[in-house]
Amino acid sequence: MNDFISCILVTTGDSVWLRARILIAKSHIDLVKIFFHIKEESYGNKNFYDAVLIDDNKVIRDYWELYAGKKGKNFISFESLEKFYSQISSIDRSCPIYINSDLGSGESGDIAARRLKEFYSFKSIFICTAYPSVDIKKVPWIDSIVGKQPTW
């Protein structure tokens, strides 16, 4: 049996209490997936950056930081997705996000990009890579594939 029920809760409230009572036969429990996505709107002060970089290479992050300073850009970088997620609630969703194609943690940049676009509603997401752009599959949640140079 491949019958699935989808339910979406969209809220802009600061806190949401959701109660559900669903009876599912044990034989079908492996068919149930529950995803929670709380769409954050502009509550309080969100920080706008001219660029947000997620790259595990410290040299690349330092180079972007130096270049941003010279160009007068507001910039922040993260060495991992985990560090980025720890600050995600303070980052404006209109900030352009640049993600390394290979994050070194077993997750590829295009998978992270999809999550950031679809679940966290970031508007501009770019993949940064030293590989030829033809080697990376073009998908709708990635705005563009760019090199390792800052784009300003």
| Count of positions (residues) in the chain | 152
Name residue, tokens 């339910």. 7
For the residues 47-73, what does the mean pLDDT come to? Answer: 95
Tens-digit pLDDT profile for residues 84-126: 999 999 999 999 999 998 887 777 888 899 999 998 999 999 9
Rounded Cα distance between 100 and 64, Å, is 13
Could you read off the pLDDT of 17-53 as tens digits, one per residue? 455 555 666 676 666 665 555 444 444 568 999 999 9
Segment 58-79 shows an average pLDDT of 95
Residue 1 has pLDDT above 50, yes or no: no
Provide φ and ψ at 118, rounded to 5°: -85, -40
- The rounded distance, in Å, linking the Cα atoms of 80 and 30 is 31
Domain 51-146 coded CATH 2.40.128.20? no
- The pLDDT assigned to 14 comes to 45
* pLDDT above 90 (res 148): yes
Domains of the chain, residue spans: 51-146
State residue 35's pLDDT score. Answer: 56
**For residue 83, pLDDT beyond 90:** yes
In DSSP notation, 87-112 reads HGGGB-TTSEEEEESB-SSS-BHHHH
- Tell me which of 41-45, 71-75, 134-138, 144-148 is least confident: 41-45
